[in-house]
Structure 1
């Protein structure tokens, strides 16, 4: 999916699977809010348009990102996997800390929904 998306935002690209668009946009909004990322007016309008068609879709409060002074362990590497974490929350914090700079280097987000290791408790 990411190869199709390239660097397009919600104004220029949405998943072909229309039933996933609400979740996709809600997750984008959560991540952008957590990291105080900007959006263009066109992207904002596209996100709002999609979410208007999503009755009951909650925009989840993101898991608080770890302090930049305290990098979560283990260190980022392709060898890191979900079994390195005790809970989904720990994996998510690790993912949210490293994802902005490195992408999903460890492959913790298998389906591209920005949620790491969802099989963990």
Structure 2
């Protein structure tokens, strides 16, 4: 939960989401609005979904987020090759492309909620 609140806060601070979400607690300097929203949403998911389905949906979401990050690295390095970077990507674009392929491959082995187990994977 902590990771998503910080990403959400940073995106709103950078103008990608409404500034209302970037408000922090006056003395603790933490994004309380976003923390409450994510906390309630997490509690609702935990209350109404079976734990197995919630875990599978979490796995799918994390792998899809990794696919998006790998694709973004390829696109940004291609569109803005001279921009200063804080990290290096070895064997560009092979490593991010392999990350995309392997993440999608792993997603095919996950059990989608309501569909049962994919044939031959378990």
Q: Is the structural similarity TM-score above 0.5? A: no
Greater fraction of residues in helix: 2
User: Greater relative contact order (Cα 8 A, min sep 6): structure 1 or 2?
Assistant: 1
Structure index of larger Rg: 2
Give the alignment's TM-score, normalised by structure 2.
0.23
Give the alignment's TM-score, normalised by structure 1.
0.23
